[in-house]
Structure 1
């Protein structure tokens, strides 16, 4: 088994562009007409699907409301990723910081309002 996540949104294309441009995600599948896209980064997969599709069960028709979710991207060098994303013009929602448990991270927000936590676990300078 493996675990992956899907987000129901009107912003399928914007989401694809965001994750491909900022993180270099690979497009595994894109539905004709842009109704669905499946992305991969490392071993993780993230999908975006347009809401209200008659072909989908009712539970898969309602769009994400834009709150209460985040995704994490693990980085080998979070400082380098911070500089790279700033150079690409990404809007930084939480500036680069160290946490007491040893993580160093920052957050950008995707087109759906989902926080993308770019994190380096237990970085060398951690207390």
Structure 2
């Protein structure tokens, strides 16, 4: 299993204002599903930050996202390691497979891969 990127997920009701603010630092909108928006640096596309008020299809809003090359392998490692699975693996309509796991500090991690 390989980690491809890590993206902080910021809970915010001010998504549009956040886009404008971080745009001043050079970030550009690369994804917007209406309930989650991701900004990235054009010169370093893996440098990203997402904003959302709440996750539309899950029971909790994740604190960060970790993209991996094999979601099912990551799930097996976490489950077998005794980690708390907050949201089981699921294929989402926007083209990702994901699950949520709680880290030792209580943060919810969205582990995902693009299909």
TM-score (norm 2): 0.45
Larger radius of gyration between Structure 1 and Structure 2: 1
Greater RCO structure (CA 8 Å; 6+ sep): 2
Instruction: Decide which structure has greater strand share.
Output: 2
TM-score (norm 1): 0.41
